[in-house]
Amino acid sequence: MARLPHMPLLPMLLALARALPGALATQELQQSPRYTITPEGGSVNITCSSTGPLCGMYLRRSWPQTTNVIYYEDGKVPTVDQGFSGRIDFLGSQDNLTITMHHLQLADSDVYTCQGITESQTIKESNVWGPSTIVVVIEKLSQGACTCEEALLASLALPAALAVACFLIGLGVGVVCVLKRTQIKKLCCSRNKAAVCVVYEDMSCSRHNTLSTPNHYQ
């Protein structure tokens, strides 16, 4: 017959049973992207997703003061700040929401943070925060203006072309100098050989004439 567990274990099990829902209720709010750059008039997407159920979702901006850009709750009409009226679209649910901001202006550059509203066991609201998204809106380039990458390439192209041209010119001059030097060496060697041969021939002739001259004293 199986024995019943020792009675002091019961309070411990009950304490674990009460603590487990609280541990499981711990959740995080993820946000992406961490930063984005867009030209004036462009659009950005910010996604806020929770690891647990939410009661609603805020998107807040930080400057010049903390303000609510939107508040989204499933089954209700979203609340949108007047400055973003007509420039906000939503996709998904309050637990996994993608917020699209259109027609961005330079003044819209800011830090945007997702804030999820949860409900604790005491029926009091608590918040979970995302890691924030830095949105940078840059001035739109005029028609015909080159991008920063094009300007950088153009600034590097001329020095590179000059360096290549100087290298080729130097290489050509070096080859010409080597050829001239080789020709001069060959010419000098040929002249030296000719001079040696002439001296040898003269000496041979003089010896031949000396030996062939009759001796008048004999």
Q: pLDDT for 85-127, tens place per residue?
A: 999 999 999 999 999 999 999 999 999 999 999 876 445 568 8
Between 53 and 154, the higher pLDDT residue:
53
Between 178 and 23, the higher pLDDT residue:
178
Q: Is the pTM of this model over 0.75?
A: no
Tokens, residue 127: 């918040």
Between 15 and 59, the higher pLDDT residue:
59
Between 105 and 168, the higher pLDDT residue:
105
**So what's the pLDDT on residue 9?**
41
Least confident range of 16-20, 27-31, 135-139 = 16-20
**So what's the pLDDT on residue 178?**
73
User: What is the average pLDDT score of the chain?
Assistant: 75
Give the pLDDT confidence of 179-206 residue by residue, as tens digits: 777 777 666 666 555 554 444 445 554 4
CA distance 155 to 121: 64
**So what's the pLDDT on residue 199?**
46
